[in-house]
Amino acid sequence: MTTRELVLFDLDGTLTDSAPGIMESVQYAYAQLGIEAPDTDTLRAFVGPPLHVSSARHGVPASQYEEFLRQYRVKFTDGGMLNNSVYPGIVELLDTLTARGMPMAVATSKPEKYARQILEHFELAHYFRFIAGATMDGTRSAKADVIEHCLASLTPLSGQLPGAGRILMVGDREHDVNGARLHGIDTVGVSWGYALPGELLEHGALAVIDKPQELLDLV
């Protein structure tokens, strides 16, 4: 087994169960635009991918996306962001990895500003050397771009980074697997997030774990 020297964590669906707040914010945005909102299962699919990708797939015209995003953020910043919870076992996992001296960072497609606020609210921010996310204007939102930003930001903080084979991504969606692969990084998937059955292994996840503590055997 490869010894890892850096672990990158996704946020939504991996560290926290953010679906309730995201779904209510998406539903609010649809209502403000006068567009019928998708069903609950489809709303859950908005958790993880960049918002412009999901909205385009589910009936929001490109010409209305900017207003959709604005209305989404109205609801998200007015409580939706913190309609969220840390998954059981995550704090214990992060405590153990910290005690082992494992460097950790966050790489999420959520805007970096919001990711920091959420992690600070749930008292998780101190575990991570850097919290990388999307830009507010969406110019950086794809997971591969976020990982690139994360690694570039870690270099001046941590010195020379380990090679890609010594880095591990932990996430719950295909976007995590695919984005990490573009950098030569393996991904361990988590079953408690928002992936469809078989999604993570189908896209090349190294393994899928059912409990946070199982990650300890893979790093």
Assess contact for 196 and 35: CB atoms under 8 A. Answer: no
Tokens of 117: 């606020």
**Residue 166 neighbours by CB under 8 Å, 6+ apart:** 2, 3, 4, 5, 6
**Cross-strand bridge partners of residue 167:** 6
Catalytic residue (one of 10, 17, 176, 186)? 10
Would residue 10 show up in a list of annotated catalytic residues for this protein?
yes
The closest alpha carbon to 16, from 130, 102, 115, 163, belongs to: 115
Task: Give the pair of three-digit tokens for residue 160.
Answer: 């020379």
> Which two structure tokens, joined as six digits, stand for 95?
């405590």
**Residues designated catalytic:** 10
